[in-house]
Structure 1
Amino acid sequence: MRFAFSTLGLPGASLAEAVELAVRHGVEGLEVRLHEDMPLDVDPRDAGLEVVSMCGYVRIAETGPDEPVIAALRGQLALADRFGALGVRVFPGGNDVEAALRRMEAVAGETRARVLVETHDHMATGAAVGALLDRFGRPEAAGAIWDVLHPWRNGEDPAATLEALAPHLAYVQVKDATGTTPRPMGHGEVPLDVFADLLRGYPGWFSLEWEKAWHPEVEPLGEVIPGAREWVRSVVRSG
């Protein structure tokens, strides 16, 4: 089993604290949020953890000049290489597909780490992200992160999401929610049984994204990790 969590669930904590929590719960990896409130004060690999991705906030398809986006990508990809991460999480942030293609091409091949486009905001569906990456056509340089919530919430059938993203899939972000409020796995309205059926046998990373940074009223991350980890274990075991 390859289970991680996002440090988005630990607002105000250091990376060292995130590592300690992961080790305590037997978590194998981390999505590391690139934010000023989390100093990168340790290397998770020293504790036996893998860094799945560096979660930046570059908006790859936002309309505007290319240079600032490319510069941010270069810096974050270099950081991802330093930590041995699969890549850098980016948001679409707009619908400028041509700009996104230019920006990804500008950094392609410069690092081992890849640009990882999340199903989010203006490209919330697998169809949208998959179409972008199909056009780019360089799987060694770019891939997809499937946040299970956003495509489903935007009316895309989960099977269609998987079909669109399968050639590009870097890893899967798992979560449950009621409306926009995070809930422990199995306590929200996300059809987790459907995702479990689709993901049986999936060999890659599952990462819990617990958005406590945006919803401070929800339970501490440590209270929801066990249920999420057991859900992932059940999917892997049944596969």
Structure 2
Amino acid sequence: MRYGYATVGLPTLDPAEAIAAAAEAGYAGLEWKVGEAPHAIGSSAETFLVGNRTTLSLDPADGRRVARLSAAAGLSVIGLSPYVRSGDLSGLDKVLAVAEASGAPQIRLQGPRFEPGGPDYHELSAHFLAFLTDAAEHAIRAGVRLVVEIHQHTLFPSASLAQRLVSQFDPTRVGVIYDVGNMVFEGYEDYRIGTALLGPYLHHVHLKNAVFRPVDGRGPVRVHRPRWSPLDDGVVDVPGVLAYLDEIGYEGWVSLEDLSTVRDPVETLRYNASVLSACGAPGWSVPVAG
């Protein structure tokens, strides 16, 4: 396994600063946020999604720049994380151009979100399947693969629902981002089940944590909902997850996508490096001082 960092978790840094900080902390690559997130306002990650300075524009020049800076720092461009809406092939093509310019091997896609009075699961599935079929052809021409992220409040909150879709595609072209933090919010299945179902479609892992807290307000029932938390304090058994991925022979990237706010984002990046060291994370190498 190789460890990188998602720039969505570094909203206060510009690209050059993010590359320098990640390299110094010992990460091997960065997964780049691209474009703005239309659903960001009012979301649990608003402070990371809105005004994020490490966001790349839809300009291939940005891709070439981060490729050059990353190579100089010894980092890989792990992939791009845009917010392309289902059906927006024009928007996807713009991201593909950035991917080609940066050398990114993959582009993250999210499933559509449910809206009050909107299409039901079956309608959304049919629409997204048609989009992904066309999108995969565009990506093939660009030499890039597509990865669907397991994400709460979307069409694919679990490994089984993601597998139901991607199993219709060539696993070398379309795969899944297995996000263990998102599955605290919705869609958790035993890791042995989820990873077995995904099989060759398990292309990437997002690592973060969350904890359940009571919701403010009075009522007959004290409701608890998940909130983002530090990597070493939450529902996700981080050492256990990493040990299990190693056990099944996973050799891909693990991107830390920490959305907690206990520490400053840069301090969080460094702190998480110490957590990986303390866990004895398989494949993690402590940087040599100096």
User: What is the CA–CA distance in structure 2 between the aligned matches of 1:33 and 1:116, rounded to whole Å?
Assistant: 14
* Partner residue, 2:134: 106
* Partner residue, 1:162: 195
1:146 aligned residue (153, 178, 203) = 178
Percent identical across equivalent pairs?
27
* Partner residue, 2:100: 81
TM-score, length-scaled by structure 1: 0.84
Deviation string, structure 1 residues 156-207 (Cα, Å, up to 9, x no partner): 2221111122221111111122234333332222123441342123211111
Query: What is the Cα-based RMSD across aligned positions, in Å?
Result: 2.3
User: What is the CA–CA distance in structure 2 between the aligned matches of 1:28 and 1:236, rounded to whole Å?
Assistant: 11
Structure 1 residues 178 and 218, CA gap change in structure 2 (3 angstroms): farther
Deviation string, structure 1 residues 14-59 (Cα, Å, up to 9, x no partner): 1111101111112100010113643545322232211111111124
Structure 1 residues 207 and 14, CA gap change in structure 2 (3 angstroms): same
User: What is the CA–CA distance in structure 1 between the aligned matches of 2:73 and 2:161, rounded to whole Å?
Assistant: 37
Unpaired segments ≥5 residues, structure 1: 61-65
* Partner residue, 1:63: none
Structure 1 residues 227 and 164, CA gap change in structure 2 (3 angstroms): farther
Structure 1 residues 227 and 51, CA gap change in structure 2 (3 angstroms): same
Count of aligned positions: 226
TM-score, length-scaled by structure 2: 0.70
- Asked whether the 8 Å contact 2:180–2:208 carries over to 1, the reply is yes
User: What is the CA–CA distance in structure 1 between the aligned matches of 2:98 and 2:8, rounded to whole Å?
Assistant: 18
User: What is the CA–CA distance in structure 2 between the aligned matches of 1:150 and 1:50, rounded to whole Å?
Assistant: 24
User: What is the CA–CA distance in structure 1 between the aligned matches of 2:180 and 2:241, rounded to whole Å?
Assistant: 8
User: What is the CA–CA distance in structure 1 between the aligned matches of 2:256 and 2:231, rounded to whole Å?
Assistant: 9
User: What is the CA–CA distance in structure 2 between the aligned matches of 1:104 and 1:52, rounded to whole Å?
Assistant: 21
* Partner residue, 2:15: 15
